[in-house]
């Protein structure tokens, strides 16, 4: 992957799509000599347009990798019992190595119950308690690591190299999907990690200490230039849909890109940064499960 330098600022624009394309190509090469076809089942409940787009992207990437791809589009009124029954069928299906249920789910379904119903060895999202516990304990060889944190790590190491020992990382956000697992993952890279959240006093002062700043809170353009240390690497996980005064919509991140890019050494754009890497890591996890099955 090549990061490009914008003519408007000094920061490198980290090309997440380019990196993801390289990873997908590498996975396809590995699948061609694997001896079995990895299988990925993706379940979507309801007709949320953003979720449909994301699920379709996952299924498309799975086919590019040479996977067997099974997509289940269930109606909005699907019961929790029916969804759990489908998951149980997929848990024992030898053709399926990875199971993913697209979030959010309709109100009648408890997402935590659904996540914990997935066989942890097929939990390619890495959200099951078994996988979360293994990550926290440092048992990475037995874990399936959540896709967005793993994608963040790949992008950081692309910019700074594999050796991150001693780097000060500040993670803005403490969700179970991104904030907590990415903090744990970087601790295991011997980084010094600080988590900033809604209860943190003077968060901008803490963020200014970061060599690596990861922002994942879902607040459009929360992080301004005065939150950022000159020369930091900034990873923007946020994806926020906003409309201007004319009603025209666009996607923006949790970081004020133009302003922060004037101070950072490298920064991920939105879209085109972390998002494509999340899908690439999903494919990598699915291949890993298939390889473990041999």
pTM: 0.93
Q: Which residues pair with 215 in a beta bridge?
A: 172, 236
Tell me what pLDDT residue 209 has. 98
Told to judge if 102 belongs to the known catalytic residues of this protein, a careful annotator would answer yes
Nearest to 278 by CA among 118, 128, 146: 146
What does the pLDDT look like over 96-106, one tens digit per residue?
999 999 999 99
What does the pLDDT look like over 188-206, one tens digit per residue?
999 999 999 999 999 999 9
Residue 48 — φ and ψ, nearest 5°? -60, 125
**Burial label, 4 (beta-carbon count in 10 A; 0-12, 13-18, 19+):** exposed
Burial annotation 267-292 (CB, 10 A radius, 16+ → b, else e): bbbbebbbbbbbbbbbbbbbbbbbee
What does the pLDDT look like over 98-152, one tens digit per residue?
999 999 999 999 999 999 999 999 999 999 999 999 999 999 999 999 999 999 9
Told to judge if 73 belongs to the known catalytic residues of this protein, a careful annotator would answer no
Told to judge if 58 belongs to the known catalytic residues of this protein, a careful annotator would answer yes
Tell me what pLDDT residue 245 has. 80
Residue 148 CA from chain centroid, whole number: 2
Rounded-to-integer distance, Cα 254 and Cα 220, Å? 5
- Residue-range domains of the chain with CATH: 35-128 (3.40.50.10860), 146-275 (3.40.50.720)
Q: Which of 123, 125, 211, 236 is catalytic?
A: 125
Rounded-to-integer distance, Cα 294 and Cα 290, Å? 7
């Amino acid at each position: 992957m090549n990061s490009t330098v914008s003519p408007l600022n000094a920061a490198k624009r980290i090309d997440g799509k380019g990196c993801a394309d390289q990873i997908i190509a590498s996975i396809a090469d590995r699948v061609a000599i694997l001896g079995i076809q990895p299988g990925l089942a993706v379940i979507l409940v309801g007709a949320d347009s953003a979720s449909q787009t994301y699920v379709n992207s996952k299924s498309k990437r799975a086919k590019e990798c040479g996977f067997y791809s099974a997509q289940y589009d269930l109606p909005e009124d699907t019961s929790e019992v029916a969804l759990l029954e489908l998951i149980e069928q997929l848990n024992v299906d030898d053709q399926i190595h990875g199971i993913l249920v697209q979030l959010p789910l309709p109100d009648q379904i408890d997402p935590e119950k659904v996540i914990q119903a997935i066989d942890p060895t097929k939990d390619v999202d890495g959200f099951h308690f078994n996988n979360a516990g293994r990550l926290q304990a440092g048992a990475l060889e037995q874990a399936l690591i959540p896709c967005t944190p793993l994608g963040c790590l790949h992008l950081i190491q692309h910019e700074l190299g594999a050796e991150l020992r001693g780097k000060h990382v500040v993670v803005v956000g403490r969700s179970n999907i991104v904030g907590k697992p990415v903090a744990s993952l970087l601790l295991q890279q011997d980084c010094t990690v600080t988590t900033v959240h809604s209860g943190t006093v003077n968060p901008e002062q803490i963020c200014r200490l970061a060599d690596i700043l990861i922002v994942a809170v879902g607040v459009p353009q929360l992080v301004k230039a005065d939150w950022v240390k000159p020369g930091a690497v900034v990873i923007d996980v946020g994806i926020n849909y906003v409309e201007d005064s004319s009603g025209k919509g666009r996607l923006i991140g949790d970081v004020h890109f133009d302003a922060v890019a004037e101070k950072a050494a490298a920064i991920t754009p939105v879209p085109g940064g972390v998002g494509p890497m999340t899908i690439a890591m999903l494919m990598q996890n699915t291949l890993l499960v298939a390889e473990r099955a041999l």
